[in-house]
Chain A
Amino acid sequence: MPFTHTWLPYIYLYVVGGLLFLVGVIVVVKSGSLDLKKSYHRTWLTVLFFGLIWFMVMHALWNMAALEILSLRSSVILWLIFMIGSLGFGYLKFVRKERS
Chain B
Amino acid sequence: MYLLAPTVLRVAPDDFPERVRSRFASELRRAGRFAQLCLLGAQACLDAAGGDGALGVLWASEFGALHATRAALDEDLRRGEPAMPFAFIAAQPHLAGALLAQRSHPVTRTACLHLAPDAWPSLPQLAQRWLVECERVLVGCVEESGSGGAAHRSDWCLLQKKPVAGAVRCERSLGPRNAAAATAEDWIPRVAAWRGSADAPLLLRGGEDAWSFTPDG
Q: Do A and B originate from a single complex? A: no
Question: Interface on B for A, CB 8 Å cutoff?
Answer: none
Residues of chain A touching chain B, judged by Cβ–Cβ distance below 8 Å, are none
